[in-house]
């Protein structure tokens, strides 16, 4: 699996594309959700929703972010809220787009 080599991250998450955690991101589950630490940028992000953590963890195996949401039981009415939260993670390089291996 190759990561997108775009020098600037996208400004919006496309829910119909495949995403994954950046390889330099470590996830530490917590009672409130999780801490994400990016070793490359030295940024720390807080996930304040355990369902968001479940979606982020499901991204690696899902064909799209929308499919990851569905896989963990996110209702259609809540998908836009999750998209906005994941957009922030994309903008901070915590999540990167997956591209097919050549």
Taking alpha carbons only, the member of 59, 71, 52, 51 closest to residue 22 is 59
pLDDT digits (tens, 9 = 90+) for 21-80: 999 999 999 999 999 999 999 999 999 999 999 999 999 999 999 999 999 999 999 999
In the sheet with 19-21, reading across from the earlier edge strand, the strands are 2-3, 95-99, 19-21
Listed by start position, the domains of the chain span 17-93
Per-residue pLDDT averaged across 90-99, rounded?
A: 92
* pTM of the complete model: 0.85
Cα 19 to Cα 13, 26, 28, 32, 97, distances in angstroms: 9, 16, 19, 23, 4
Query: Fold for domain 17-93?
Result: Outer Surface Protein A; domain 3 (3.90.930)
DSSP label at residue 11: S
């Amino acid at each position: 699996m190759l990561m997108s080599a775009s020098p600037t991250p996208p400004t919006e998450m496309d829910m119909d594309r495949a995403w994954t955690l950046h390889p330099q991101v470590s996830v530490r589950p917590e009672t409130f959700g999780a801490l994400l630490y990016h070793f490359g940028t030295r940024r720390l992000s807080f996930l304040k929703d355990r369902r968001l953590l479940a979606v982020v963890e499901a991204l690696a195996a899902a064909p799209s972010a929308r499919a990851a949401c569905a896989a963990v039981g996110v209702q259609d009415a809540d998908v836009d809220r999750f998209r906005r939260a994941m957009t922030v993670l994309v903008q901070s390089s915590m999540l990167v787009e997956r591209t097919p291996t050549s």
